[in-house]
Structure 1
C-alpha cells in the first residue's frame, strides 16, 4: 500500500494509524500547490479531489477521506484497540467523534488558511474554534482519550488537527486550554506518533 501525504496536513492522521497497527506502508510526499507527487506523478490522476490523504491499495484501488481511511486501516488488524468492532455502540462512538473532528474542528480551521478570508470572518472562526476547544477540554478533563481510556483513530485525527493551533499565535495557543495541551503532549510521546512525525519532517526537509 502507498499513502500519499503532505507534511503538516491532515494526512498525518492515517500515517499515525499505519504505524500504530504495524502495517507496512510506502509513504510518498505530495506538493499540494503543484499537485505533483515526489516521484513526479500527477496527483490529480491518483485522487481527482487533489487533496491528501489518499491510499493506493495493493490491488490498485484508491481510498480517499481520512476518516474512512483510518477505519479501513484499523480493521485490517482484527482486535486492534484503535477501532471497536463494527456494529457495536463503541464503534459508533468512535465514528461520532471522527465526524465531529471532521466537521467542527478540521473544517473549522479551513478559513484561517485562506489569505482571502476577511479579518472579521477569521475573528468569528477563531471564536467558534475556541468554543469547540472548550467542549473538548470538558470531555478530556477526566479521561485520557476521546472515548475513555483507549487511544483510537479519532484521537489520531484530533491530535493532527490540534497541531495546527501553533500557526495562529495567541488566539489559538493551546496554553489557554491546558487539558488539550496535555492531551497533545501525551499523544506526541507515543512511539508510532514520533515515527510518523520524524518521517514527515524528513519529507519536508527533502522538499525544501
Structure 2
C-alpha cells in the first residue's frame, strides 16, 4: 500500500496521543494534524467518521483507512520507516519491548496515578511506597534488557538508540514530575533511592530527547490541566 497522505487527530495534552506525535517526529513523516479538544464533547463528525469512542490519537490514511489506539498508530508509523530503527529486529528485544510497555501501563502508571492525584496525606504516602516498589521492577527490566553487540552501552532501553519502548513510555516519564504537585509527598530521587539508578539514567536520557521535549507541554500547563483528576 502506497501512503500519500496521513492525518493525525491529536490533543497536545494527551500522553497517549504523544506516542503518535513522537513516531511521526522520529521518522520525519509528513502529515497533517487535526486538533481535538478533549475538554468538551467530541463533535459528531469525529464520532461518526473517525473514532466512535471519541479518543485520540486516530490516524487517517489516504483519506480512507483509520487506525485507532496510540500503540497501533505509533507502530504503523514506525513500520513505514524501518530505516529509523524504532522497532528492534531481534525477536527477544521485540518481546521485551512489548513487555516493558505493558508493565508500565498495567502496573507502574496506575501506581503513579494513585500517588499523585490524591490529597489525603496518609494514603498518598502509602501509594508513594507502592510506586517505588513498582519502579524497582522497572529498574530490573531495564538492567536485564537483552543487548546485541551493535546496540552499545547507551542509556536507552536497548542501548545507544532511542527505540519504540522509549517512545511509548516517554510521555508518561515527561509527566512523572506531577508527583507531589497536588499533595505533600516528596519527589522520588536517585539520592533517596540509589537502587533506581538505571531507571533515572533512562528517564533523564529520554526526557533530554529533542522530539520528547517538543511533544511535551510546559510543566505549568500540565499541572493546571491535570488538576481535575485530583481526589
Q: TM-score, normalised by structure 2?
A: 0.67
Shift, 1:111, TM fit: 4.9
Is residue 74 from structure 1 mapped to residue 78 from structure 2 by the alignment?
A: yes
Is residue 5 from structure 1 mapped to residue 5 from structure 2 by the alignment?
A: no
Q: TM-score, normalised by structure 1?
A: 0.74
Question: What aligned pairs does 1:42-191 form with structure 2 within 5 A after superposition?
Answer: 42-45=45-48, 46-85=50-89, 88-111=91-114, 125-140=127-142, 144-169=155-180, 171=185, 173-176=187-190, 179-191=198-210
> Is the 8 Å Cα contact of residues 94 and 154 (structure 1) preserved in structure 2?
yes
SS of the residue aligned with 2:59? strand
SS of the residue aligned with 2:189? helix
> In structure 1, how many angstroms separate the alpha carbons of the residues matched to 2:125 and 2:52?
32
- 172-181 vs 98-107, which moves further: 172-181
Question: What aligned pairs does 1:27-46 form with structure 2 within 5 A after superposition?
Answer: 27-36=33-42, 42-45=45-48, 46=50
Shift, 1:102, TM fit: 2.2
> Is the 8 Å Cα contact of residues 157 and 166 (structure 2) preserved in structure 1?
yes
Instruction: Tell me which structure has the larger Cα radius of gyration.
Output: 2
For 1:70-93, what per-residue CA distance to the aligned partner results, in whole angstroms no more than 9, with x for missing partners? 2111110123311024x8333222
> Is the 8 Å Cα contact of residues 173 and 207 (structure 2) preserved in structure 1?
no
SS of the residue aligned with 1:157? helix
> In structure 2, how many angstroms separate the alpha carbons of the residues matched to 1:171 and 1:179?
23
> Is the 8 Å Cα contact of residues 5 and 28 (structure 1) preserved in structure 2?
yes
> In structure 2, how many angstroms separate the alpha carbons of the residues matched to 1:124 and 1:52?
32
- Cα 1:99–1:182 change in 2 (3 A) is same
SS of the residue aligned with 2:175? helix
- 134-143 vs 153-162, which moves further: 134-143
Query: In angstroms, what is the RMSD of aligned CA positions?
Result: 3.3
Shift, 1:21, TM fit: 0.9
Question: What aligned pairs does 1:12-31 form with structure 2 within 5 A after superposition?
Answer: 12-31=18-37
For 1:29-61, what per-residue CA distance to the aligned partner results, in whole angstroms no more than 9, with x for missing partners? 32222134xxx6654332222322222222422
SS of the residue aligned with 1:63? strand
SS of the residue aligned with 1:12? helix
SS of the residue aligned with 1:31? coil
> In structure 2, how many angstroms separate the alpha carbons of the residues matched to 1:137 and 1:187?
15
Partner of 1:196: 215
